Amino acid sequence: MIKEAHKWISAPIWTSDLRVYNVQQMLDSSQPILIPSKELGQASSEVQQREQHEQFLLSVAIRTVARPFGKAALNFHTRHAFKDDESFIESNLKQKNENIKKNNFINSSVSQMGARPICLNGRVHPGWHQVDFPLNDTNPSHKLAMDWANFYNGLAHGFSYCGGFPSRIFSSLIKEEANSDLLTTIRAGLLLAAGLSGCIKDSMNLYDIHALLTQNDKYLIIALLIGCAAAHRGTSEVHVYKMISAHLPFLLQPTLVEFKIELSIQSAAIVSLGLLFAETANHNISSQLLNQISLEVPCESDQAFERYSFVLTAGMAIGLINLGKGKEITDTEIPISSTPSLKERLIKLLNGGERRLAYLSYDRVECPGMRIGNFASSCGGGSNLIYSLRRYTAGGSAMDGIGAVNVTGNNAGGSSTNTATAQQQHQNSSSSRDYSGIGQPMSNHVRELPTLNIHLTSPAAAVALGLMYLRTRDEWIYEALSVKDSFYEIDKIRPDMLMIRTFCRCLVKFDDIQPTKQWTEKQIPEIVRRYSQHFVEAQTLKDIWWEEFIDVETISKVHFYCTAGALLALSLRFASSCQKDALSLIHQLYERISSIDLNRKKVDELSWSGFALRAGRNCLRTCTNVCALAMGLLMAGSGDLQTTRILRKIRNILPSFEDTNIKTKTSANCIPPKDSSVHSLHVSTNMALGLLYFGYGRYRLSDSNLSIAALVLSLFPLFPHSITDNRFYFQPLRFLWILAAQKNSQPKCLRKLSKRRKIRRILINEEEKDFEGEDEQEMMTVECPRCGRIEITKNERFSSL
């Protein structure tokens, strides 16, 4: 019913086909899954047939739970002021029992806000009998997956409302109702949508926030942290900062109480810190975040397996805080300083080195006046005096060098001896337990070394440098982020890190990005480009004489990873512009890596397909994800049919459910098939489809610095393995593209009018152009954002939509 009420939104734009309807069906997660019984084969018994149906549901469940990532962009701001939901509620009231009170039912229904739950059940054709999903909430892994899926589903549904949340309905989200059927995860998703939309800024007070935080629900905490920070982004609001710092142990004062906060909540708090202080260049917070990146593990009680996501979000927060101000910070720094600058510390985290050179701390030392006892006489007998000053020490602990001297009136001269003895004992005890070089306690989780782990710190440092020096054209940073033209230096870098470094490097000279093949090839190291070209131009395998000395797999990975990173930056530069040259470059990369899956046995070893085959499956899947995101980003809001066909082709890749041996497991213990690429593949294609039909074609992406940063965070080329996997990338950040959304002021397309309507002008790209000439058949070439170059005659009448 609600769908029917909103058909008018897309009707004026796409009237001649059903493209929007088809995309809605592809991104709808509330309908039962159709089970193709013919493709499963003829089962000998009903039990075996049901097992095959359940096996199929397990295989496609990973596709269903990934649909909210695209549905959020597709339905963005397509509902108005909840009027349709209220009418939907009123119509349902007539069908209920008269004994049910009207107000209670309205509150319960409004709290749901029409959010349709995710359906994992299936129906078998042609009988249409229902097959239940074999897992339930008693399975911990399934319950965790459904909690995150419902959270994203509520978030996607909250994005569909425009004009703000009405106070009556928004208050029902804040209040805790005992008889409400609203899931906590859906409620958290709706609150996060309200925060990212800016509605939470004027509708919630500190008492409401405190009441929600005291419920101790992980999803509510994440929603409030990111939502409040996004609503107050760039304002440095004190109350929001206090709420965020309460969830970050390194910002809390020393206390006897041990706080155990999940790293997922800490990751959300760190991103919130970056949004709150966006473009403020706060040096103190940036320095503390750099210290957290430099640590191997934050403390012994924290989860080491989510450390990667924690460090990456810290790098993103540093980039947001100093967004586009890297050159200004460098110009205002003291030329000669005892402390290393943010730029130098980030370069050390990027390339590796001693940990103490990236970790900045201060030691407390005694005051010189107190050292000679000038104040001893004024203290009086028996008085205690504790003195301290701050001195920078590279990697030094905050506990090192503390000198607390008991100065008495009778024995003031003995303070120096006591101080030296205390410092010597502390240094001996500190050196016996310091294995990291920065004075931190030894970890029980990992073996800490005095050198940095660049596999952990390099992505965070790269994105921080890319955002700090966004559009600054800083040659030194541009060269530092580049991939060196040497196999010895290339082998030091993780293969997928090459794509991240290339992507972040292009942000420095963002305005110089060109949609040409020459610019794209320039982002690849020359030595790799030369060997790649020689490989595809070789006539026989004997011509590749250098294969015995140089690894072809390394060359292939470097080539495709660098190309993918460059194309992602290219699509970000021309987002929502429908640039044809840029789109052809993305299609070229996709064609080179997609032909392998279609006909693997007939691949020519000396072609681009054979060269791509050397890169490996993980590299090709990652490049496919990047191509999908790049196409959706470049053509955002256009609804291009060719791009729609390609994305639909990508998302039709399904895992081989035949590999899951469900027959040997009971339905209570079986788990969905694990595939390291299927979830990321569907998340990427669904997001691309949603952006392609962004708000039913009525929205586009902005090109401001904060908008670019939000798109970098949401489209960052790291792809988790499942919907619950937040180890490498914090997946709620995928929805930060809302900060870059803006109304599309340009005309979408040309529509031919009837002959009765006489219009003498045509509106193209906000410019009115007259027809010249007296010939009725005179042709005129115009540029349409969606249709490209078209030719029209004088007697044809058009208007923009």
pLDDT value of residue 145:
93
> What angle do helix axes 167-174 and 184-196 make, rounded to 10 degrees?
130
pLDDT value of residue 549:
83
pLDDT value of residue 53:
85
In the predicted model, what is the mean pLDDT of residues 597-621? 75
pLDDT value of residue 38:
61
Burial 700-737, CB ≥16 within 10 A → b, else e? bbbbebbbbbbbbbbbbbbbbbbbbbbbebbbbbbbbb
> 45-54, 60-69, 321-330, 667-676: lowest mean pLDDT where?
667-676
In the predicted model, what is the mean pLDDT of residues 339-363? 86
In the predicted model, what is the mean pLDDT of residues 425-441? 50
Report how far residue 212's alpha carbon sits from residue 786's, in angstroms, rounded to the nearest whole number. 46
pLDDT band per the 50, 70, 90 thresholds, residue 752: very low
pLDDT band per the 50, 70, 90 thresholds, residue 274: very high
pLDDT value of residue 68:
95
Report how far residue 67's alpha carbon sits from residue 33's, in angstroms, rounded to the nearest whole number. 13
pLDDT tens digits, 627-656: 999 999 999 999 999 999 999 999 887 554
Are 724 and 102 a contacting pair, CB within 8 Å? no
pTM higher than the cut 0.85: no
Nearest to 234 by CA among 746, 707, 721: 707
pLDDT value of residue 330:
87
Cα torsion 48, 51, 56, 61 to 10°: value is 170
> 343-347, 609-613, 763-767: lowest mean pLDDT where?
763-767
pLDDT value of residue 59:
85
**Which DSSP symbol is given to 354?**
B
pLDDT band per the 50, 70, 90 thresholds, residue 436: low
**Cα separations (Å) of 3 from 12, 75, 189, 353, 494?**
16, 11, 21, 57, 47
Angle (CA) 628-633-636 rounded to 5° is 115
Which tokens is 154 given?
């509520």
Asked if the model's pLDDT at residue 789 lies above 90, the reply is no
CA 208 to chain centre: 28
Report how far residue 579's alpha carbon sits from residue 638's, in angstroms, rounded to the nearest whole number. 11
> 368-377, 442-451, 526-535, 559-568: lowest mean pLDDT where?
368-377
**Which DSSP symbol is given to 652?**
T
| Most confident residue range from 252-256, 339-343, 580-584, 666-670 | 580-584
pLDDT value of residue 391:
40
Asked if the model's pLDDT at residue 46 lies above 90, the reply is no
pLDDT value of residue 665:
40
| Neighbouring C-beta atoms of residue 341, cutoff 10 Å | 14
Q: Is the bond into 785 cis (omega within 30 degrees of 0)? A: no
Which of the two residues, 766 and 296, has the higher pLDDT score?
Answer: 296
> 20-24, 291-295, 432-436, 667-671: lowest mean pLDDT where?
667-671
Report how far residue 542's alpha carbon sits from residue 563's, in angstroms, rounded to the nearest whole number. 27
3-class DSSP state of 793: strand
| Most confident residue range from 152-161, 363-372, 432-441, 774-783 | 152-161
Report how far residue 223's alpha carbon sits from residue 22's, in angstroms, rounded to the nearest whole number. 31
pLDDT value of residue 257:
75
Angle (CA) 249-255-260 rounded to 5° is 40
> 216-230, 292-306, 384-398, 717-731: lowest mean pLDDT where?
384-398
pLDDT value of residue 719:
93
pLDDT value of residue 260:
82
Nearest to 643 by CA among 588, 688, 696, 593: 688
pLDDT tens digits, 378-422: 344 443 333 333 444 445 433 333 333 333 344 444 444 454 555
**Which DSSP symbol is given to 181?**
-
pLDDT band per the 50, 70, 90 thresholds, residue 88: very low
As a whole number, the mean pLDDT across the chain is: 76
Which tokens is 702 given?
């902005």
pLDDT value of residue 663:
36
φ/ψ of 792, rounded to 5, equals -130, 160
Domain ranges of the chain: 2-253, 360-433, 750-800
pLDDT tens digits, 237-268: 999 999 999 999 889 887 777 778 888 999 99
Are 513 and 570 a contacting pair, CB within 8 Å? yes
Which tokens is 561 given?
């990873």
Which of the two residues, 177 and 502, has the higher pLDDT score?
Answer: 502
Asked if the model's pLDDT at residue 483 lies above 80, the reply is yes
Report how far residue 286's alpha carbon sits from residue 461's, in angstroms, rounded to the nearest whole number. 12
Which tokens is 700 given?
């586009």
pLDDT value of residue 125:
77
pLDDT value of residue 100:
39
Asked if the model's pLDDT at residue 174 lies above 60, the reply is yes
Asked if the model's pLDDT at residue 226 lies above 90, the reply is yes
Helix (H) or strand (E) holding 103: helix 102-112
Q: How far apart are the first and last CA of the chain?
A: 27
Are 689 and 23 a contacting pair, CB within 8 Å? yes
Which of the two residues, 50 and 575, has the higher pLDDT score?
Answer: 575
Report how far residue 238's alpha carbon sits from residue 259's, in angstroms, rounded to the nearest whole number. 22
pLDDT tens digits, 532-544: 988 888 767 777 7
pLDDT value of residue 5:
39
pLDDT value of residue 745:
66
Q: What percent of the chain has pLDDT over 70?
A: 67
**Cα separations (Å) of 459 from 157, 249, 310, 346, 556?**
32, 23, 12, 11, 21
pLDDT tens digits, 101-129: 333 433 433 444 567 889 999 998 777 78
Q: DSSP letters along 696-757, please?
A: GGTEEE--SHHHHHHHHHHT-S---SSTT--SSS-GGGGGGGGGGEEE--S---EEEPPTTS
| Neighbouring C-beta atoms of residue 383, cutoff 10 Å | 12
